[in-house]
Chains A and B, each alone.
Chain A
Amino acid sequence: MPEKMEHKDKARALAYLAAISRLADQPLTIMEVCGTHTMAIAQNGLRELLPANVRLISGPGCPVCVTDNSDIDRFLFLAAKPEVITATFGDMIRVPGTKKSLQSLRAEGADVRVVYSTLDALELARKNPEKEIVFLGVGFETTAPTIAVSIETASRENLTNFSVLSLHKRVPPALRALAADPEVQVDAFLDPGHACAIIGTRPLEFMAEQYGKPGVVTGFGVLDILEAVLMILEQRAAGRAAIEIQYKKVVKAAGNVRAQAMIEQVFTTADASWRGLGLIPESGLNIRPEYRAWDAAAKFALPRFDSPSPSGCRCGDILKGRIAPDECGLFSATCTPLQPVGPCMVSTEGTCAAYYRYARK
């Protein structure tokens, strides 16, 4: 639900919109790479308010949506083991793999628990010493530090029945892949406020320097997003490209140094497969060998799966901003939030779910 707007905020929003209209003298395509932005834009109907030549498209900003089918099949393989209790954030429950989902496995008797924090998962491990607790580590740099802390805690307590399947992704390599991809026609980016609160803006500066793409780290309110769009237009009008921070009350250029150190201590970068974007070098976070005992992939000798994407599903094209959700043949016909085919429809922050909820024609 959009926030209630105070009178003065409404006046500010209208002033931003007027300034945006004045500066929008030629077409501009801006991609947001954060699921929370995707939802805020749809909930507030912002596409409709912007001038027709300012186009907002959604990128790979939802961690659930970018999880590759082969990784989904890997965690489903784990969840089906009788000794395993799978602990996960709620969004993963309904994500369909090649044959099943956590939800259908649970109905068949698998023990799958929705947790609200890694602390709950650790507690499960303490309370169920005869079981193996596997936490699904799905997320960007935003969630990686707390998961690193849980691994560190398990190691300190010698909690040997806790492990993490790390499917974490890093934002900067994905942005590089998008900027380098000739199929992706994007002029500028709304950069993710939460992830940048951790990593800061320095890891994104190559986007402006090497690719000439302006980027603005943006907060999650209507005013934040409109101000950021205006900041991008102002950069273009001045003929420059830079990574700027609109979300100043939370994000610093250097980021959160302690959280970065925590990630560095537990994780190491590795190549990772992204749904729709393919293998991106250095874009994943694997658990360091020192913490191997808490790495579910090593502990259970997980096989690799070669899983095709569901037939007809165009999540990949949607994640690259090549098509809008309603251009996919499955959208709202066979693929709905209750019966999702692809993950972009499952996650509340998925592009398809946002379109389905707020902008379906």
Chain B
Amino acid sequence: MEHITLAHGSGGKLSHQLIESLFCRYLGNPYLEQLNDASILPTSGRIAVSTDSFVISPLFFRGGDIGKLSVCGTVNDLAVSGAIPKFLTLGLILEEGLEMAVLERIIASLAATARQAQVQIVCGDTKVVERGNADKIFINTTGIGYPRTGAEIGPQKVRPGDVILINGTMGDHGIAILSEREGLEFETPVTSDCAPLNSLIDQFFDQGITCMRDPTRGGVGTTLNEIAQQAGVGMILEEEALPLRPEVAGACDMLGLDPLHLANEGKVLVIVAPAAAATVLEKMRRHPLGAQAARIGTVQAEDPGRLLLRTALGAKRLVGMLEGEHLPRIC
């Protein structure tokens, strides 16, 4: 069985072999194939840039792997910022001894996700560290996107009365990773929601959106708290409206976790002016990644900076940010 050796990161012959037999084969495009020290990209004015590093353990999980995740993470950060993702860079840190077949599986998945998200990998770098100095593979991706013109969104645009939508169930990624890591088995296994969101967001971006965020680490609860604090508004969620798989609810109950604090990798929180809410919700539901989209709450003037939850019985309670860390290396 072939393994990664320190020579694969030396810049010498084995590095070149790796680039040609693996990276160009799976990720090839005119920018990458020039194999220059830098790629020259076309732009038309302003660009959006985002970067993210991926250290998830395990590398493969139900619904995804580190390759897919490293495309989705950066693509989604660009997309929720109102940009159209176009290009990604790819930085790899490999541990000596990593099986070549594992690397190939990851790169193949990364390539398939990039095609799905319609982004091109335009440059890359590979380093190999001695065994024990990294855990198999760490990935960094930096993404470039084109901001949509005339579509300024962000917390400063959020107003009391705006409606809060989400495109589906909460916490699937968090529980999928946790169950792989801790060997928990459920009757219906939970699959990570890891997916590129740009084609979903394309459906409704022009429809009165005031703010969007992807609730990754820290979950819906932490992300909405951030927006509420930045926007100086209050927010109230309706417990009965929160989409949640019964398996995820059961796992949370068992483990003492709050699904509002669990990580998602294919969810977007959309805050929209009240008049446009129904249209956006309908457009979300017509897309495969939004079939279970729901209206989950409202922005209010009261309790600025705070996120509240109205329970099924009508009591209100505070939803805080995630304190500490549920689980390291979840993405």
Interface residues of A, Cβ cutoff 8 Å to B: 1-5, 10, 13-14, 17, 42-46, 48-49, 222, 336-338, 348, 356-360
Contacts and interface: CB of A to CB of B under 8 A. Distances in A.
A59 to B, nearest CB: 20
Contact of B313 (A1, A44, A338): A44
A358 B311 contact: no
Interface in B303-325: 311-318, 320, 323-324
Contact of B249 (A3, A13, A49): A3
Contact of B317 (A14, A338, A359): A359
Which residue, of B260, B323, B324, has the highest number of chain A Cβ atoms within 10 A? B323
B294 to A, nearest CB: 13
Contacts of A3: 249, 253
B313 to A, nearest CB: 5
A30 B83 CA distance: 55
B256 interface: yes
A1 B260 CA distance: 8
Contacts of B257: 1
Interface string B248-273: 01001100111110000000000000
B318 A338 contact: no
Nearest to A10: B312
Interface in B126-151: none
B313 A5 contact: yes
Contacts of B258: 1
A17 B312 CA distance: 13
B315 A48 contact: yes
Interface residues of B, number: 23
Contact of A49 (B240, B252, B314, B318): B314
A356 B313 contact: no
B313 A43 contact: no
A336 B323 CA distance: 9
A316 to B, nearest CB: 24
Contacts, number: 62
Contacts of A2: 239, 311-312
B269 to A, nearest CB: 18
B103 interface: no
Given A1-B260, A4-B244, A336-B323, 10 more contacts: A1-B257, A13-B312, A17-B313, A44-B313, A45-B315, A45-B316, A49-B314, A337-B324, A357-B320, A358-B318
Interface string B234-246: 0000011000101
A3 B313 CA distance: 11
Contacts of A14: 313
A337 B249 contact: no
Interface in B74-93: none
A358 B253 contact: no
Nearest to A4: B249
B252 A358 contact: no
A2 B324 CA distance: 21
A48 B313 CA distance: 10
Contacts of A337: 323-324
A20 to B, nearest CB: 12
A45 B312 contact: no
B260 A45 contact: no
A42 B317 contact: yes
Nearest to B182: A116
Given A4-B240, A348-B256, A44 B315 contact: yes
List of 10 A-B pairs having minimum Cβ-Cβ separation, nearest first: A45-B315, A5-B312, A337-B323, A45-B317, A358-B317, A48-B315, A1-B258, A49-B315, A358-B318, A357-B320
Given A2-B311, A348-B256, A48 B244 contact: no
B312 A4 contact: yes
Contacts of A44: 311, 313, 315, 317
Contacts of B239: 2, 4
Contact of A222 (B246, B313, B317, B320): B313
A13 B239 CA distance: 16
B189 to A, nearest CB: 20
